[in-house]
Structure 1
């Protein structure tokens, strides 16, 4: 099964193609260039480099959030348009799940943290169980200082990853040796986990309904707040 995955929830723009259990190709830019300028050319370049046409794909996967309101809208609109044009099935993958997937096989708890502005992070707790990534807590936006006591209560190593690690480094250090940190590349959202997790979703269940698929926002967007 050939699956294209797209990531645009943070300042990272990435696209990847997986075939069965193999990563075929991935393009990745950790820059601040607007995703609306980057994503379509990136997907076109990825397909051209692999000698594939959109019709060759068996499915599509897109990062669903939480993350940048603008980035998520651009990514979802781009992949929805591709799904409508090709008739290929599409699934949305939560961004925190894909980020936690960077910790493949790590023992202990995995705590991806993404910057959420307003002195908060988006997060959830995960653990690897018998080769499967399992989410243990709901997705949430929370003040990092408020998060630390609950993490300490587990009395087990907690592995942090994500772009919220560096800005709140001193906060995580309050956990002492219980706080562990994955290598810097694991802090960046990637399209390969989106494609891998998307492939699994497409193999085990129905695709998402294009008309109902929306970004996973954990709090109102700026436009929604202004309308209240």
Structure 2
């Protein structure tokens, strides 16, 4: 089964090709180019480098957010178009799940944080659970993520208080680390941080999660929508004007 996974939920544009459990290739661009300009080009480059065409893809994985409103819409529209055009299934996976999966062997609380502006972050809390020794089903992931907190948009201080109540060591991962690392070190005991490159959402992590779901026959309805968690700035400004 050949899977194309794409994420455009942040400033990063990333795509990966997977064949069964093998990563065929991955392209990750962390610059300021618009996703609408570069997304299809990196998908095409991946296909060309692996001597594949879009007809060879058996299923698609896309980030459903949270993250950039515009980026999420571009990514979702791209994958929906490819899915409908090829009559192949797609499934959406949380960008927070993908970040947590990159450090799923950490023996404490895993806390992805994505910058949500206004001193807040998109976040959740996880524990990694190994399943490879008890389950030989190849379609299941060797590491299962147990989510301890619903996907949330929280003030950074509110998140710190929640983590302190757990009284465990915690690893922070995501683009929010760049902004809040010093503050977290000062205010959150037992904080850990991964190498910087892991703070970027990787399409390969997204693809590994989504591939297992697709193999189990799970897929999205064509009408599925991104998960934003917060209202856009335009919506907030409109509501504010309506209250005046």
TM-score, normalised with respect to structure 1: 0.95
Tell me which residue corresponds to 2:137: none
Deviation of the 1:108 alpha carbon? 0.5
State whether structure 2 residue 216 is matched by structure 1 residue 216.
Answer: no
Equivalent-residue separation in structure 1 for 2:237 and 2:125 (angstroms)? 31
Equivalent-residue separation in structure 1 for 2:213 and 2:169 (angstroms)? 29
1:17, 1:24 within 8 Å by CA — same for their partners in 2? yes
Equivalent-residue separation in structure 1 for 2:156 and 2:237 (angstroms)? 26
From 164, 169, 175, the equivalent of 1:157 is: 169
Tell me which residue corresponds to 1:9: 9
Could you report, residue by residue, the CA deviation over 1:145-165 in whole angstroms, capped at 9, with x for unpaired residues? 121121011111100110101
SS of alignment partner, residue 81 of structure 2:
helix
Could you report, residue by residue, the CA deviation over 1:6-61 in whole angstroms, capped at 9, with x for unpaired residues? 01000000100111111110011011100000101111111111111111111000
Equivalent-residue separation in structure 2 for 1:70 and 1:176 (angstroms)? 32
Where does the alignment leave 5 or more consecutive residues of structure 2 unmatched? 131-142, 240-244
1:144, 1:171 within 8 Å by CA — same for their partners in 2? no
The answer to which of 201-210 and 75-84 deviates more is 201-210
From 157, 164, 168, the equivalent of 1:145 is: 157
State whether structure 2 residue 34 is matched by structure 1 residue 34.
Answer: yes
Within 5 Å, give how 1:199-214 maps onto structure 2. Answer: 199-211=211-223, 213-214=224-225
2:7, 2:202 within 8 Å by CA — same for their partners in 1? yes
Could you report, residue by residue, the CA deviation over 1:117-154 in whole angstroms, capped at 9, with x for unpaired residues? 11110000011112212211101111111211210111
Deviation of the 1:177 alpha carbon? 4.5
Deviation of the 1:170 alpha carbon? 2.8
Equivalent-residue separation in structure 2 for 1:59 and 1:225 (angstroms)? 36
The answer to which of 214-223 and 93-102 deviates more is 214-223
Point out the structure with max Rg over C-alpha. Answer: 2
Tell me which residue corresponds to 2:63: 63
1:152, 1:175 within 8 Å by CA — same for their partners in 2? no
Where does the alignment leave 5 or more consecutive residues of structure 1 unmatched? none
Equivalent-residue separation in structure 1 for 2:187 and 2:103 (angstroms)? 20
* Aligned residue-pair number: 227
